[in-house]
C-alpha cells in the first residue's frame, strides 16, 4: 500500500476564494477610404476590430489549494485591437487561462448561479466571454450609400465576481472525534504524513492519501479535523471541512474502543451522528461504516465483546470492523472491502 500525499500542513490550505474577472473588450471598427495616386476617391476600406479575449478556468491536478487567489484576485483578458484601413481586421485579444485545483466549484457571486464543477485534469470552463468586435465602414457600403461614415464600437467583455469553493475529491472520508486515530489510519495505509500526537486537534487541515492495493487498483481517502459536540453551531474545526466529505462514496466512522466504558463509546458515536445529521441530510444518508480502532490496547476477545455490545445498543445490523491503525491489525481486510465496494459501485454506474 502506499503512496501519495496531496495536502499537507506545511502548505496553507485555503478552500474558498473570490476573484474578479474582466473579459477583453472588442476592438472598434475603422472609418477609412481607399486613397491612392491612381484612385483618389476610392470606396470604404475600414476594417473590423478584433474580438476581446475570453477567460477560462483550467483544472490542474498539481494544485491543491486556492491560496494563490489571496494574493491576486483580479484577472483581465486582452482587449481586441481596433480595425485599420485597407480592410485590415484588428487582432483578437488573447484569452486568459486561470488554473484551479481539481474539485473547485464555481459560482457567480452576485447571481449565485452555478457555472461549473472542475472534476478532472485539464478540464476547461468558459467563465467570461470577450466582447464582440466593432464593424468598419466597409460593412456599411451599399448601392445607395457608397461613402458610409458609419462604424460600430466593440462591445465590452463580461465582468464577473466569482466565488470559488474547493471540495476535495476522495472515495473515502473519515469521521471521528479528535484522537480517534484518523491521522494514524491514513499514515498507515498511504504515504500521507498528517501530524499525530496525544492531544486533540493535531489535524488542522484536510489531508488526502492514495491507497494502492496493486498496480491497477487504488482509492483516495480523506482525513479532516475531528468533529466535536456543537460542531453544527460552529464549535471546533470539523464543521469547516465537512463539505469535503460530500463527494465521498463511503464514510469511515472511527471509534476509540480503548475507552472500555460502553456508554462512553456509545455517546461518542451518537455525538458524530447528531452533528452529521444537523450539518447535511445528504451526508448523513451516505454509506457509513463503523470502525472500532485501537484494539491493540485491549485483549482481542474483550474488544470483540465491547464492539458487539455497542452495536447491539445502536441497533447496528451492518458489518463493523475491529482494527489497530497503529500496528495495521485488521487494516488490510478493511481496505480490501473498501476497494470491492468502490469497484461494485463503479460497475453499477456503467450499467
pLDDT band, residue 4 (cuts 50/70/90):
very low
User: Residue 229: what pLDDT?
Assistant: 52
pLDDT band, residue 78 (cuts 50/70/90):
very high
Does the annotation place 226 within a ligand binding site? Answer: yes
Q: In 3-state terms, what secondary structure has residue 22?
A: strand
Q: In 3-state terms, what secondary structure has residue 233?
A: helix
User: Residue 156: what pLDDT?
Assistant: 97
Does the annotation place 176 within a ligand binding site? Answer: yes
Alpha-carbon distance of 170 to 188, in angstroms, equals 17
Does the annotation place 180 within a ligand binding site? Answer: yes
pLDDT band, residue 177 (cuts 50/70/90):
confident
User: Residue 5: what pLDDT?
Assistant: 36
Residue position matching grid coordinates 473579459:
23
Q: What percentage of the chain reaches a pLDDT higher than 70?
A: 86
Query: What is the phi/psi pair of residue 79, to 5°?
Result: -75, 155
Does the annotation place 178 within a ligand binding site? Answer: yes
User: Residue 218: what pLDDT?
Assistant: 83
Pairing type for strands 172-175 and 218-223 reads: parallel
User: Residue 330: what pLDDT?
Assistant: 94
- What length is written for the chain? 351
Q: What's the CA dihedral at 341, 346, 349, 351 to 10 degrees? A: -100
Q: From 79, 18, 8, select the one nearest 223 (Cα to Cα).
A: 8
Does the annotation place 230 within a ligand binding site? Answer: no
Q: Is the pLDDT of residue 205 over 80?
A: no
Output 137 or 210, whichever has higher pLDDT: 137
Instruction: Average the pLDDT over 7-24 and give the result.
Output: 72
Q: In 3-state terms, what secondary structure has residue 347?
A: helix
Does the annotation place 324 within a ligand binding site? Answer: yes
* DSSP assigned state of 318: S
Does the annotation place 223 within a ligand binding site? Answer: yes
Does the annotation place 65 within a ligand binding site? Answer: no
User: Residue 193: what pLDDT?
Assistant: 59
Q: Which tens digits make up the pLDDT trace of 220-266? A: 888 876 554 554 444 444 455 677 778 888 999 999 999 868 899 99
Does the annotation place 183 within a ligand binding site? Answer: yes
Does the annotation place 224 within a ligand binding site? Answer: yes
User: Residue 225: what pLDDT?
Assistant: 67
Q: Which tens digits make up the pLDDT trace of 23-65? A: 999 999 999 998 887 777 788 999 999 999 999 999 998 887 8
> What average pLDDT does the structure give for the chain?
84
Does the annotation place 182 within a ligand binding site? Answer: yes
Output 194 or 182, whichever has higher pLDDT: 182
Does the annotation place 334 within a ligand binding site? Answer: no
Domains and CATH numbers, the chain: 13-167 (2.70.210.12), 172-350 (3.40.50.300)
Pairing type for strands 114-117 and 172-175 reads: unpaired
Q: Is the pLDDT of residue 274 over 50?
A: yes
Alpha-carbon distance of 250 to 192, in angstroms, equals 19
For residue 229, CA distances in Å to 22, 31, 266 come to 44, 71, 14
Beta-strand ranges (E) seen in the chain are 16-22, 55-60, 74-76, 96-101, 104-108, 114-117, 124-128, 159-166, 172-175, 207-212, 218-223, 250-256, 288-293, 320-322
Q: Which tens digits make up the pLDDT trace of 313-350? A: 999 988 999 999 999 999 999 999 999 998 888 777 66
Contacts of 325 (CB under 8 A, 6+ apart): 181, 184, 185, 187, 188, 254, 293, 294, 331
Q: From 205, 210, 202, select the one nearest 169 (Cα to Cα).
A: 210
Alpha-carbon distance of 76 to 10, in angstroms, equals 31
Beta-strand ranges (E) seen in 250-319 are 250-256, 288-293
Q: What's the CA dihedral at 90, 92, 93, 96 to 10 degrees? A: 180
Helix H or strand E encompassing 339: helix 331-350
Does the annotation place 206 within a ligand binding site? Answer: no
Q: Are 166 and 222 in contact (CB under 8 A)?
A: no
User: Residue 112: what pLDDT?
Assistant: 92
Amino acid at each position: 500500500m502506499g503512496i501519495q500525499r496531496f495536502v499537507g500542513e506545511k502548505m496553507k490550505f485555503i478552500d474558498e476564494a473570490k476573484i474578479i474577472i474582466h473579459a477583453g473588450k472588442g476592438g472598434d471598427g475603422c472609418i477609412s477610404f481607399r486613397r491612392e495616386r491612381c484612385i483618389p476617391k476610392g470606396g470604404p476600406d475600414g476594417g473590423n476590430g478584433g474580438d476581446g479575449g475570453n477567460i477560462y478556468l483550467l483544472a490542474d491536478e498539481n494544485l491543491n489549494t486556492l491560496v494563490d487567489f489571496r494574493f491576486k484576485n483580479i484577472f483581465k483578458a486582452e482587449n481586441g485591437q481596433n480595425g485599420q484601413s485597407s480592410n485590415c481586421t484588428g487582432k483578437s485579444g488573447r484569452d486568459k487561462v486561470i488554473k484551479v485545483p481539481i474539485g473547485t466549484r464555481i459560482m457567480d457571486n452576485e447571481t449565485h448561479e452555478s457555472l461549473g464543477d472542475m472534476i478532472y485534469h485539464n478540464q476547461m470552463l468558459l467563465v467570461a466571454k470577450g466582447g464582440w468586435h466593432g464593424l468598419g465602414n466597409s460593412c456599411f457600403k451599399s448601392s445607395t450609400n457608397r461613402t458610409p461614415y458609419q462604424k460600430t464600437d466593440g462591445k465590452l467583455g463580461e465582468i464577473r465576481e466569482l466565488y470559488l469553493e474547493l471540495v476535495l475529491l476522495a472515495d473515502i472520508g473519515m469521521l471521528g472525534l479528535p484522537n480517534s486515530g484518523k491521522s494514524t489510519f491514513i499514515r498507515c495505509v498511504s504515504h500521507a504524513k498528517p501530524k499525530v500526537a496525544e492531544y486533540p486537534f493535531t489535524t488542522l487541515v484536510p489531508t488526502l492519501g492514495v491507497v494502492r492495493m496493486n498496480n491497477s487498483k487504488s482509492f483516495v481517502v480523506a482525513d479532516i479535523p475531528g468533529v466535536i459536540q456543537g460542531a453544527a453551531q460552529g464549535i471546533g474545526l470539523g464543521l469547516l471541512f465537512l463539505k469535503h466529505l460530500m463527494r465521498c462514496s463511503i464514510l469511515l466512522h472511527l471509534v476509540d474502543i480503548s475507552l472500555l466504558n460502553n456508554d462512553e463509546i456509545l455517546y461518542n458515536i451518537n455525538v458524530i451522528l447528531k452533528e452529521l445529521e444537523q450539518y447535511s441530510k445528504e451526508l448523513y444518508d451516505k454509506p457509513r461504516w463503523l470502525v472500532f480502532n485501537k484494539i491493540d490496547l485491549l485483549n482481542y476477545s474483550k474488544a470483540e465483546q465491547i464492539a458487539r455490545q455497542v452495536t447491539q445498543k445502536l441497533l447496528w445490523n451492518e458489518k463493523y470492523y475491529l482494527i489497530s491503525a497503529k500496528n495495521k491489525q485488521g487494516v488490510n481486510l478493511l481496505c480490501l472491502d473498501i476497494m470491492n465496494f468502490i469497484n461494485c459501485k463503479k460497475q453499477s454506474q456503467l450499467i
